[in-house]
Amino acid sequence: MQQRGFIDYTFQRRAVLRELAEGRRTRDEVCDAQAYLKQAAAYHGDPTDRDCPVCGRHRVDLVHYVFGDRWKIGSGQAKTARQIMEMAPITSEFSVYVVEVCRGCGWNHLLESFVTGIELPPRTRKRRRGPAPPDVAVDLNDL
Ligand SMILES: [Zn+2]
């Protein structure tokens, strides 16, 4: 699967965890997963073998949110990594945001984002070819 515009958020994640360890953030602040995010993790998440960095008692799940600028429906839905692999070759360009979620304590953080799917041609202004049309003002009352 082709990935473009990859952004890694592990630096920000580490900073949040450091602030928690130093007491500059509370556990309530960083473990604020809403019910819908925990549900997304349960039904559309990919389990990992990584322990939650906050509670250490549960494994984190990865939730992939997809956003298509030109999609009429489906933007903002949670998908599994496998679904994204299947979508990428047959779907117009979309962004994927991968969120790490602990269903135990509610820890959640964005891990990475990227763009995949069928690349759209860049939006360019159409150039006029040939001579410009004659500059004739037409008064609608004359028609
Ligand atoms: Zn946890």
Q: pLDDT (tens digit, 0 to 9) for every residue of the chain, 143 residues total? A: 889 999 999 999 999 999 999 999 999 999 999 999 999 999 999 999 999 999 999 999 999 999 998 888 888 999 999 999 999 999 999 999 999 999 999 999 999 999 999 987 776 656 556 666 556 555 555 54
CA of 118 to the centre of ligand 1 (A): 36
CA of 102 to the centre of ligand 1 (A): 5
- Quickly tell me which residue has 């039904």 as its tokens: 43
Question: 10 Å Cβ neighbour count for 87?
Answer: 19
CA of 75 to the centre of ligand 1 (A): 28
CA of 51 to the centre of ligand 1 (A): 8
Do 116 and 9 touch, CB atoms closer than 8 A? no
pLDDT of 123: 66
CA of 58 to the centre of ligand 1 (A): 6
CA of 21 to the centre of ligand 1 (A): 14
pTM for the full model?
A: 0.81
pLDDT of 124: 61
pLDDT of 89: 94
pLDDT of 140: 57
